[in-house]
Amino acid sequence: MPVTIAAIAKETAAPRIPRIGNKIIFSPIIIIADIIPTILGVLLSVILSAANAYLGLFAGMTVSASIPAAVISMGILRLFKNSTILENNLVEEAQRKGVLLHGGLGKLKEKYCNRISYCAGKGLIAAILFKDPKTEESDSFFSSRVAEACMRKGLLVVHTGRESIKIGPPLTIPDDALQEGIEILDEAIAECS
Mapping DSSP to helix (H, G, I), strand (E, B) and coil, where does residue 118 land? Answer: strand
Alpha-carbon gap, residue 49 to 111, rounded angstroms? 47
Looking at the chain, the number of H-run helices and the number of E-run strands are: 6, 4
- Please report which residue ranges of 57-89 form alpha helices under DSSP H: 66-77
pLDDT of residue 32: 52
Lowest mean pLDDT among 9-18, 52-61, 165-174: 9-18
Helix then strand then coil, in percent of the chain rounded to 5, is 55, 10, 35
- Tens of pLDDT along 30-77? 455 567 677 877 888 888 888 878 877 777 766 666 667 777 777 777
pLDDT of residue 14: 44
95, 119 contact by CB (below 8 A) = no
- Mean pLDDT rounded to a whole number for the chain: 78
173, 133 contact by CB (below 8 A) = no
30's CB contacts (< 8 A; 6+ apart) are 15, 16, 17
Query: Residue 163 carries which side chain, given as an amino acid letter?
Result: E
DSSP 116: E
For the stretch 59-75, what's the b/e string if a residue is b when 16 or more beta carbons lie within 10 angstroms of its beta carbon? eeeeeebeeebeebeee
pLDDT of residue 6: 43
- Tens of pLDDT along 78-125? 776 665 555 557 778 888 899 999 999 999 999 999 999 999 998 888
